[in-house]
Structure 1
């Protein structure tokens, strides 16, 4: 609806410019710092000043003298060089509230397919909080893009040919212990302990590296496939359970060995050999100096076996042939690798991926490492979140049954984790602090509580969809704050999708929830003069919060 208002205001200004024989310039709007200055403002007078050789204040006054008031606006006025439009809330509010349905915010189909790869952690142990930012940004962005009209397919790229998996296989073959003998309730935890143990063996016996290299070579030749695949599949089984606990599900798990087996990696090498950039010096590599990249891209080991980089090129060519847009979610330590990939993909004629880089999460006590066994697993994180949520709910609600408490705790606990990570721009470093993430007085819990409050109020009023606005309802300032925010939601969805930024939705929802809590506290609903209008407003806030939280993969409890 904000876009509709902007279009109406823009048309009226263009007619005014035409009447005055002023040049037609690009007319953009911004939100004034306070409602007293209007709802939409434009600075076109600044742009016209240089063309007309006039003072922008005078230009604004002249334009105001001929502009016609567009529909849904109460007035338009000049404030210095600015031209400010004021919404007619009595009419606009009715139209807006009528337009908000169960699907509010969804944008038209675009006819473009996106393949979005996220999480893709090595299957050498459980997911830890160092992986969780990738997973939550990726899953939330996929949801937002779908809601914004894109056809989205999510991928988990399985690194089954790397050194880490060969180390696990070496352990299974040599440590005289079955996988089931390692600690942990899930296969991924057992594999993580095995991987840690093999690392300790390697530190004491560096010669074992040759045996692990031989395992890598044998798997690439198609040997020992069963034991490699069993180890990876068992780890993935545990990882999938963890992701399910966060409400994350991938459309496809694409194994990198596929691109060795089907000849794609060899095709990549053959194509690159036909360029002027391929070099050989014990290993095969691409010289990328002409692309402004000092570090060469190694394509094969000295024994001729492929590397992750080569298999990744084959994977990106595969994606190029199956979609319009490729999006990768990667840690900021991959920036050089992405530059190398983009240069090589360009030589191969593939699509360059859009890459969302994120800074890492650390614990207050330092960085994490699966190899060193220093990490908090996502399973532990979820358990702790649920446990804290249960304690908080029991303090507040003595009337709930155990099953109800556990259901609400799951939604609040997982929501707290997802929101804590989604709320920040990915470029910002994040130190994971339990007390901040699981603080139920702010953040996600306050947004979920706004939804629960709305549900309770509507239930108490026996609200139905046939309730109508009666009388001459002119929204008060608290209601206007909510109306303005509700009108913004489709635009926030559009901006979030176009800029590939999840935190815009999270920040918007916090602002909407804060405005609703203020309205709830100071504006009586049931029994008030405008009960019908206010109940409809509450219902529309509830729908918008629900839709917004779904985009972040967060469930909305009806009671808290």
Structure 2
């Protein structure tokens, strides 16, 4: 990567300066950045300001000494065309672009490191809504980033087929009469789930049916268990198929029932029972419950009065029903290869495997690191899984368990009103609720977006409108900072200009059109022939070059910080800079050398944007 070469060169120069002055140099990260103004170089560092106290010299003096050392070393083998010192002690570096163009920059690989990424994990009791889709888009993009940066990645979709939500749908199917015209089973169950929760409110005695159903699902025998299995499998198939439209795929479905029925929780229970932190309470509100005692001094987040957020986390309730966290702890012990047990695997669909009672032996799990994409409301249960690993002495694994938390998706007042929600209280956003049947189904959003795109297109010979719709929705859900709550608005989501996936794809296709014309005119640069760089690039050319040089650094930063929105920001800026270059610098007109350089720059741009689109899971079309 370019930044690594710059830091290495600066590090050696700083070491030499310190050595000359007789001061021990303690190597640390050298800050570099791209200045806002091109007048301040392509890259800049403030290292001289940081060293002033240690070296007891003015920052400007230190900067001059470092700049002299850089020149003595050959300016990173000719990579720097100019090194300047600016007050109060900055070192500004200008890149020698012809030298940069000759070099190959890529990311270091992580051979042998396996990462398990768990995402989507929608309750298998009804159709998916846009809140679920944000999880899936974030998770899949992280998978793409990690693979692009050299990681071996295994993708899990965890299916909670023993939870309250599925139990409620099963209770509804058995007790709530419902008729209507439905194309998909998940849509039918969406209304069943909503209706049964209304029935609970009107007839509280019905809630006992949920408890009975939970027991039946966990035991795995009889009509109720089979009905639960059939419901879950049918809906999961719909979810998986739905996600394929967004380019989202999985390696393995892990069923919660497999964890319980095949003894994974029993094995985890045996391990935890050997620690003083896991005890069965004998008195008080939690009498009869098995709980995992919190580390002293920690305070749980969330509702302190809820069973889910007791300071002593309940893993097994007094009635013997396991909590979600208990099963999650067993699952994570298996993920890291810490249980002497494994699943059997069978093929769920082409290329997708599932855990089960019988099947093949396959090398799933045994991860070096685990990443879970779960919304910010699940922060505390995720902390408890990490604590369980620590209690068992698996501190290294606990340190490599990462929770990618994100803000939930709510509805704007306009969108909420369109769904029939009372917005007279004037709130800025309205939460979606499956129990109340309030939300935007993924299929409905795709249909709306496809219709909007189709109506706005004059030329329909390019990408299919449905493909564009999937890409536009995916980008909309990715471009926000992870911690941001997305206030979903139908109008904004269906926009096709501005910071959108459509804009990126259109710009990629525009560059492709230019390159096709250049190829027809015989203007493409032959391999091995030096690019005819101008002595002083135009401002639009220089800005585009500088941003292109930052791609690998952006990719690495997104992988390290697990932040897909960084790729969105980079790609949008890149597309904007190219369109500015396209309008200000005639590419296929002018002097021969100028045209060859600009055609080469267009090709470099398209290759880089294509890489970014692939990481984001968007098409790279030849025409829109």
1:141 counterpart = 2:142: yes
Indicate how the Cα distance of structure 1 residues 410 and 89 shifts in structure 2: closer, same or farther if over 3 A, else same.
farther
Match of 2:560?
498
Quick check: 1:49–1:55 contact (8 Å CA) kept in 2? yes
CA deviation digits over 1:433-485, x for unaligned, max 9?
A: 23323322212222112101101111122265627556553332211111111
Match of 1:268?
268
1:437 counterpart = 2:493: yes
Indicate how the Cα distance of structure 1 residues 208 and 471 shifts in structure 2: closer, same or farther if over 3 A, else same.
closer
1:84 counterpart = 2:91: yes
- For 1:74-153, list aligned pairs within 5 A: 74-95=81-102, 99=104, 107-153=108-154
Match of 2:296?
290
Measured in 2, the distance between the counterparts of 1:105 and 1:245 equals 30
Quick check: 1:416–1:445 contact (8 Å CA) kept in 2? yes
CA deviation digits over 1:471-513, x for unaligned, max 9?
A: 5533322111111111111111111111111111110001100
Match of 1:310?
326
Match of 1:473?
534
Quick check: 2:125–2:190 contact (8 Å CA) kept in 1? yes
- For 1:374-523, list aligned pairs within 5 A: 374-394=438-458, 397=459, 400-401=460-461, 404=462, 407-443=463-499, 444-462=501-519, 464=524, 466=526, 468-469=529-530, 471=532, 473-474=534-535, 475-523=537-585
Measured in 1, the distance between the counterparts of 2:56 and 2:9 equals 28
2:374 aligns to what SS in structure 1? strand
- For 1:202-217, list aligned pairs within 5 A: 202-217=200-215
Indicate how the Cα distance of structure 1 residues 21 and 83 shifts in structure 2: closer, same or farther if over 3 A, else same.
farther
Aligned residues: 543
Indicate how the Cα distance of structure 1 residues 385 and 472 shifts in structure 2: closer, same or farther if over 3 A, else same.
closer
Quick check: 1:159–1:256 contact (8 Å CA) kept in 2? yes
CA deviation digits over 1:183-208, x for unaligned, max 9?
A: 42112112212222222222222212
After the TM superposition, which of the residue ranges 353-362 and 271-280 deviates more from structure 2? 271-280
1:320 counterpart = 2:344: no
- Give the deviation of 1:290 after TM superposition: 2.3
2:457 aligns to what SS in structure 1? helix
Quick check: 2:167–2:210 contact (8 Å CA) kept in 1? yes
1:335 counterpart = 2:341: no
Quick check: 1:16–1:66 contact (8 Å CA) kept in 2? yes
Match of 2:405?
357
Measured in 1, the distance between the counterparts of 2:253 and 2:280 equals 33
Quick check: 1:90–1:473 contact (8 Å CA) kept in 2? no
Indicate how the Cα distance of structure 1 residues 528 and 108 shifts in structure 2: closer, same or farther if over 3 A, else same.
farther
Unaligned runs of 5+ in 1: none
TM-score by length of 1: 0.91
- Give the deviation of 1:142 after TM superposition: 0.7
Unaligned runs of 5+ in 2: 282-286, 301-310, 338-365, 414-429
Match of 1:168?
169
- Give the deviation of 1:153 after TM superposition: 0.8
Measured in 1, the distance between the counterparts of 2:571 and 2:584 equals 20
Match of 2:589?
527
Quick check: 2:525–2:531 contact (8 Å CA) kept in 1? no
Measured in 2, the distance between the counterparts of 1:52 and 1:93 equals 33
Quick check: 2:83–2:94 contact (8 Å CA) kept in 1? no
Measured in 2, the distance between the counterparts of 1:194 and 1:54 equals 74
When the two chains are superposed, the root-mean-square deviation of aligned CA atoms in Å is: 2.3
Measured in 1, the distance between the counterparts of 2:531 and 2:263 equals 70
Measured in 1, the distance between the counterparts of 2:230 and 2:331 equals 22
Quick check: 2:505–2:620 contact (8 Å CA) kept in 1? yes
1:340 aligns to what SS in structure 2? helix
1:202 aligns to what SS in structure 2? helix
Indicate how the Cα distance of structure 1 residues 5 and 263 shifts in structure 2: closer, same or farther if over 3 A, else same.
same
- Give the deviation of 1:90 after TM superposition: 4.7
Measured in 1, the distance between the counterparts of 2:299 and 2:563 equals 28
2:204 aligns to what SS in structure 1? coil
- Give the deviation of 1:14 after TM superposition: 3.8
- Give the deviation of 1:19 after TM superposition: 4.5
Measured in 1, the distance between the counterparts of 2:259 and 2:392 equals 15
Measured in 1, the distance between the counterparts of 2:435 and 2:249 equals 26
Measured in 2, the distance between the counterparts of 1:62 and 1:169 equals 75
2:617 aligns to what SS in structure 1? coil
Measured in 1, the distance between the counterparts of 2:391 and 2:491 equals 49
Measured in 2, the distance between the counterparts of 1:483 and 1:517 equals 13
Task: Between the two structures, name the one with larger relative contact order (CA 8 Å, sep ≥ 6).
Answer: 1
Indicate how the Cα distance of structure 1 residues 82 and 123 shifts in structure 2: closer, same or farther if over 3 A, else same.
same
Quick check: 2:135–2:374 contact (8 Å CA) kept in 1? yes
Match of 1:221?
219
